[in-house]
Amino acid sequence: IHMYRNEVKSAERSFKLAQMIYPSAVTLDALGCVAFKNGEIKIAKKYFQAASQDPTYHNAIANLAVVYHSQGDRKGALLLIK
């Protein structure tokens, strides 16, 4: 809800707490989204890469492709989503 309301700091606190209580690819991906929204591209990339290690969770791969594309690496982005 915090992200939809553009309450990025509150969202980050909530996702970090959730990750401490119950670590998951979903919360790592969410933290990557927060970092990306804050312009922290390297941090976002690390979160998305960590989340993409879960073979059952695919959203992080798409988000990682967005990071690559934002850095001008269109080829890398396309390789991820194929």
Residue 56 neighbours by CB distance under 10 Å: 5
Whether the model clears a pTM of 0.75, i.e. scores above it, the answer is yes
Are the CB atoms for 50 and 30 separated by under 8 Å? Answer: no
User: How sure is the predictor about 63, in pLDDT bands with cuts at 50, 70 and 90?
Assistant: very high
Enumerate residues 6+ apart whose C-beta is below 8 A from 55: none
Tens digits of residue pLDDT in 13-42: 999 999 999 999 999 999 999 999 999 999
Give the Cα separation of 19 and 79 in Å (integer).
29
